[in-house]
Structure 1
Amino acid sequence: MAFPLTAHWAGRSIYDIDPAALARRGIRLLLADLDNTLVPYGVPEPTEQVREWTAALERHGVTLFVLSNNRHPERPGRFSKALGVPFIGHAGKPKTGSFYKAMEQMGRTAEETAIVGDQIFTDILGGRNAGVFTLLVEPIRLAGNPGRYLRYAVEWPFRALTKRRTKPL
């Protein structure tokens, strides 16, 4: 079994993820963390660039599904509704229950599912434990919370290892 704190793939941002490459891998459901993965913390609605990327996913048969640990259900709900995608808020990552619930809701298997996120100890660990393909991106913005800097420092060796092992999608 692979080490659960390394992702299968790493890139700078979601825009480094090629929707066609996901489709070629058989991925039909892309779970996505919200804050600092799709948009910075506090941005209430999708940007035009996120909308265009989501449309590109859809053109290749990949459904985006927001899987957020945000404890305020109105945040992921508002964002997802504006984007026209399903979501689970207060997901409890890295626990796997929300991963399985999303896959069941969308009629997809772990082999057809991937997750993209900016955090090793929630998104990647949870995805690995749920048996899905894991995609690690850099946090959009660390500013504003000293705890984020500390968490990022602790994650750094696992990020470096993932980047070293990453091959094109």
Structure 2
Amino acid sequence: MAISLLADHVYSSVTDIDPQTLADAGIRLLLADLDNTLVPYGVLEPEPSVREWNQGLRTAGVTLFLLSNSRKPGRPETFAQKLDIPWIGHAGKPKAGGFVRAMERMGCTPEETAIVGDQIFTDILGGNNAGVTTLLVEPIRLAGNPGRYVRYAVEWPFRALARQRSRR
């Protein structure tokens, strides 16, 4: 199996992803990374815009599901509860296991599932490994961890290629 680091679609933020467009494409389950995708690192409350977007997903028949690699005790669970969505922490992305567990739990196939995240080497690679539609967003905030700057610099060429592909 070929390894792909390119996302199917690229957006500035999660709220730029139209819920009805997902539903029209047959997506019933949207897996979402937490940190720097839904909120900045360390933020405990969903922004009103994310709450409204989640409601739009529900209205369109798409379930938002938190799929996080966070190892902070209780962080994914607490955040997911505030949005009233299912979750898996310690997901082990980019391995496909967390993706498969989420799809099995929600009764969805890879063709009915998408992942949205800010990192190519976890979210996008993992989604491609699991055979789901991959949606890349720009990280919300890089400040606070020098390692993030390095990681995103390494990802830059793949982001640029995915942006080009997404425009087609």
After TM superposition, the score normalised by the length of structure 2 is 0.97
Pair 1:127 & 2:140 matched: no
Equivalent positions of 1:6-85 (< 5 A) are 6-85=6-85
Q: Matches of 2:55 and 2:167 in 1, distance apart?
A: 25
Assess if the C-alpha contact under 8 Å between 2:10 and 2:137 holds in 1.
yes
The residue aligned with 1:165 is 165
| Deviating 4+ runs (over 2 angstroms) | none
Q: Which runs of 5+ in 2 are unaligned?
A: none
Change (3 A) 1:73 1:87: farther
Assess if the C-alpha contact under 8 Å between 2:3 and 2:129 holds in 1.
no
Match of 1:166, SS? helix
Displacement, 1:167? 3.4
Q: Which amino acid aligns with 2:37?
A: T
Q: Which amino acid aligns with 1:60?
A: A
Q: Matches of 1:53 and 1:25 in 2, distance apart?
A: 17
Task: Name the Cα RMSD after superposition.
Answer: 1.2
Q: Matches of 2:3 and 2:129 in 1, distance apart?
A: 10
Q: Which amino acid aligns with 2:14?
A: I
Q: Which runs of 5+ in 1 are unaligned?
A: none
Q: Matches of 1:76 and 1:57 in 2, distance apart?
A: 19
- Of all paired residues, the percent bearing the same amino acid is 69
